[in-house]
Amino acid sequence: MTSTNFDPRILKAPHPVPGAPDNWKRFLSFNTDAKVIGIQYIATSLLFLLVGGLLAMIVRGELITPPADLVDPTVYNGLYTMHGTVMLFLFLFPVLNGLNNLLIPTMIGAPDMAFPRLNAAAFWLVPVFAVLLMASFFIPGGPAQAGWWSYPPMSIQNPLGHFINGEQLWLLAVALSGISSIFGAINFVTTIVRMRAPGMGFFKMPLYCWTAWGAQTIQLIGLPALTGGAIMLLFDLSFGTSFFRPEGGGDPVLYQHFFWFYSHPAVYVMVLPVFGIFSEVFTCYARKPLFGYKFVALASFGIVFLSLIVWVHHMFYTGTPNWMRILFMFTTMTIAVPTGVKVFAWVATLWGGKLRLTTPMLFCLGGLLNFIFAGITGVMLGTVPIDIHVGNTYFVVAHFHYVIFNAIVLGVFAAVYHWFPKFTGHMYYEGLGKLHFVLTFVGCTLNWLPLHWAGLLGMPRRVASYDPEFAIWNVIASIGAFILGVAAIPFILNMVSSWARGPKSPPNPWGAIGLEWLLPSPPPAENFEDDVPTVINNPYGYGLGEPQVADEDFYIRRAQEA
Amino acid sequence: MTSSDSSLQLNHTPGHVKHSGHNLTGFVIFLCSESIIFLAFFAGFTIFKLTSPEWLPPGVDGLDIKMPLINTIVLVSSSFVAYFAERYLHKGNLWGFRIVWLITMLMGAYFVYGQYVEWSNLEFGLGSGVFGGTFYLLTGFHGLHVITGIGLMGLMLYHSFRPGNYDKGDMGVTAVSLFWHFVDVIWIILFVLIYVWQRY
């Protein structure tokens, strides 16, 4: 019998608290298991997708007719501000952190995250700042109304004079969200850098890990800048300083620099993991190795680098000097190169593949199509003359939602379906999944495609009433938004019923390649425990007939027996 | 061994041995990230100082440099003292470590005291224009880090009395020491920006 000369104790993360519940109650407790935390994140964030979606539907209900008749314009300002904030800080960031928690340790063969307790603390900050943000609906003066940018001097107005006001709660919530994200980022980066399975060099790592690594690097570099700006804004609002108050010698444009230095890269924090999901899903359902794996992997960090030097393109029309506009126009255009590398690699992967149009594949194909469209309007917006013309119109809103919803959220849905059998141990219902896709794709196209025209014709954003000439585009958009609302029904039905009584899932229902598929469904608490596989081949070896890890049969057999 | 028995044990390469001690990795990543908040504040300070039409509030003609200079010398030398404490610990001289470590803490405490004395003698406040705001924001945020550092050093001192504390290495002391050097470097930049630059 062979004896191993490495000490498995080194691998072990701290165990879950002894006596911690093993049933559904563990999802309501301070649990340090990354797979429990991942599901906690995803469930919480999907709940807030409903909240944010409801806010969006009130907004679209208001905009279905030109006059401001459904809600008061002041309430309307609060609604779109909170819609944006909820969707970004309570839906997208948490849902992606949830996927990171589920996928990173299982994909690299680690037993858990590097810092399990920090991980749980990061999650439990989410409900705390969620309560803060929701509480702002019920205080005098209502929630923050300055838009999700929270630009001064609008955001440092405090007309009612209360010390505790909607804007202040907003800033505190954003600060807590930042702390939570930093905790998460430290954890994810350390885990990826230090806890990979033997033989898994960086260029044998799945692309989801590459993209998550890049995204979390952005968090670590960008988020502190926003935190710095938010602290100064909070001081201006509540403690009488005048950093951003022009009448006190301050400079409101400086806040915009702080804000966009993070918030532009923040889009890449969200889109990069979705690029990873695309790479995983396209290879799996096209049964082909990823075209140009190394370039796709390295392009992730090309995007990270470029994303940090383009932020001024959000400020072309806010008194930016001309040389700065030209400079940042060029950097903005450059970012189309690494993203283009990825898009061409996916198309080349799909080309000539034997496509299986399952729900995750459909979501990814739809997402890719929308992303290409959003990329084209993005290049348009990066051009100074066009941006000055359409800045602050619905063209920007439409472009932004094409990236955030039509590409990113579709990718997130794809991931939820693709890995659902792995982490719940049950198959989802394909029919309901396809219905969800059709409703989502039709809804999101109807919602945001027409708004490009409204924007080009000059409809300004953030207004409760508008010129009747834009009415037709808004009616179509509102119908699309309500279809998206209906799309939630098959999704919820599918998730709840298939987790409760769906057919049992085999370890690898899709015939996918990757360490996570060598584990039982659902994986045991410490994943591979003491028998971590040794990686011997590149990822995505579809159709090559070579095992990805040494002794692959052992792992397949063990997963099936479990 | 028959092949069917191979499912019981596997032949492993000892690839995971290098995975011990990612606490330090995580801590260094945290410090890099933390430094960017300061970088944001420094950038803000620089832009304000270069562009603000009225930099100093009325009745204020600059900051006195003597007291902060003494403070700087104390804080910078405390970093070297912390280094010697660490050396004692590596040599296994536990009491040497504790005493020198305590001296570092006292030097840090003197710095906080000096900062307090300086603050209480200033004739401008947080609301005195951009100058007052950035001054208190930068020194206050840095001061919070110094206090945190002293607290962490106290914790390490307390842990040093726990039997078997260093069986798994002295990662905690290394991390706190790194944090202290970090606070020190931030102060040097801050000192140059706020106190030295005003003369030119």
- Residue range B83-128, pLDDT digits in tens: 999 999 999 899 999 999 999 999 999 999 999 999 999 989 998 8
The shortest C-alpha distance from B20 to chain A (Å) reads: 6
Q: Name residues 4-23 of chain B within 8 A of A (Cβ).
A: 6-7, 9-20, 22-23
Query: What pLDDT, on the 0 to 100 scale, is given for residue A1?
Result: 33
Say if residue A366's pLDDT is above 90. Answer: yes
Mean pLDDT (chain A) is 93
Evaluate whether A34 touches A116 at the Cβ level (below 8 Å): yes
- Map A230-285 to HEC letters: HHHHHHHHHCCCCCCCHHHCCCHHHHHHHHHHHHHHHHHHHHHHHHHHHHHHHHHH
Q: How many residues does chain B have?
A: 200
- Residue range A436-464, pLDDT digits in tens: 999 999 999 999 999 999 999 999 999 99
Say if residue A6's pLDDT is above 50. Answer: no
Stronger pLDDT, B38 or A18, i.e. the higher one: B38
Q: Name residues 33-62 of chain B within 8 A of A (Cβ).
A: 33-37, 39-41, 44, 47-48, 51-54
User: Could A220 and B29 be called an inter-chain contact, meaning their C-beta atoms sit closer than 8 Å?
Assistant: yes
Q: What is the DSSP letter of A335?
A: T
Chain B residue numbers with beta carbons less than 8 Å from the beta carbon of A183 are none
Query: What pLDDT, on the 0 to 100 scale, is given for residue A385?
Result: 94
Assess: ipTM above 0.85: yes
- Residue range A143-172, pLDDT digits in tens: 999 999 999 999 999 888 899 999 999 999
Q: Which residue of B has its CA nearest to A533?
A: B12
Mutate to test the interface with B, among A2, A241, A262, A518 (most CBs of B within 10 A): A241
DSSP string computed for A173-204: HHHHHHHHHHHHHHHHHHHHHH-PPTT--GGG
Say if residue B9's pLDDT is above 60. Answer: no
Lowest pLDDT segment from A387-396, B3-12, B177-186:
B3-12
- Residue range B30-85, pLDDT digits in tens: 999 999 999 999 999 999 999 888 888 888 888 999 999 999 999 999 999 999 99
Chain A residue numbers with beta carbons less than 8 Å from the beta carbon of B13 are 198-199, 534
Query: What pLDDT, on the 0 to 100 scale, is given for residue B199?
Result: 66
How far is A324 from A332, CA to CA, in rounded Å? Answer: 12
User: Could A249 and B54 be called an inter-chain contact, meaning their C-beta atoms sit closer than 8 Å?
Assistant: yes
Taking residues A463-471, what's their average pLDDT?
Answer: 95
- Nearest Cα neighbor of B173 from B190, B154, B191 is B154
User: Could B137 and A185 be called an inter-chain contact, meaning their C-beta atoms sit closer than 8 Å?
Assistant: no
Task: Say which residues have a Cβ less than 8 Å from residue B27's Cβ, sequence separation at least 6.
Answer: B175, B178, B179
- Residue range A498-530, pLDDT digits in tens: 999 999 999 999 999 999 999 999 999 889 988
Band (pLDDT 50/70/90 cuts) for residue A57 is very high
Determine contact: B66 vs chain A, CB below 8 A: no
Q: Which residue of B has its CA nearest to A13?
A: B20
Question: Looking up tokens 């469904």, which residue turns up?
Answer: A521
Say which of A186, A198, A248 has its CB closest to residue B16: A198
Chain B residue numbers with beta carbons less than 8 Å from the beta carbon of A222 are 36
User: Could B16 and A185 be called an inter-chain contact, meaning their C-beta atoms sit closer than 8 Å?
Assistant: no
**What domains does chain A contain, in order, with CATH numbers?**
29-561 (1.20.210.10)
Query: What pLDDT, on the 0 to 100 scale, is given for residue B62?
Result: 85
Domain ranges of chain B: 24-54+68-199
What is the C-alpha radius of gyration for chain B, rounded to an integer number of angstroms?
Answer: 23
Query: What pLDDT, on the 0 to 100 scale, is given for residue B169?
Result: 79
Q: How far is CA B166 from CA B81, B84, B86, in A?
A: 21, 18, 13
Q: Name residues 527-556 of chain A within 8 A of B (Cβ).
A: 531-532, 534, 551, 554
* One-letter amino acid for residue B55 of the chain: W
Q: Which residue of A has its CA nearest to B15?
A: A198
Domain B24-54+68-199, classified CATH 3.40.50.300, yes or no: no
Say if residue A10's pLDDT is above 60. Answer: no
Query: What pLDDT, on the 0 to 100 scale, is given for residue A21?
Result: 60
Say if residue B6's pLDDT is above 60. Answer: no
C-alpha angle with apex A190: A188 to A196, nearest 5 degrees? 90
Q: Which residue of A has its CA nearest to B6?
A: A554
Query: What pLDDT, on the 0 to 100 scale, is given for residue B55?
Result: 87
Q: Name residues 8-67 of chain A within 8 A of B (Cβ).
A: 8, 10-11
Say which of A186, A228, A243 has its CB closest to residue B37: A228
User: Could B14 and A6 be called an inter-chain contact, meaning their C-beta atoms sit closer than 8 Å?
Assistant: yes
Taking residues A36-49, what's their average pLDDT?
Answer: 97
Chain A residue numbers with beta carbons less than 8 Å from the beta carbon of B132 are 241
- Residue range B142-198, pLDDT digits in tens: 999 999 999 999 999 999 998 888 887 788 999 999 999 999 999 999 999 999 998
Chain B residue numbers with beta carbons less than 8 Å from the beta carbon of A5 are 14
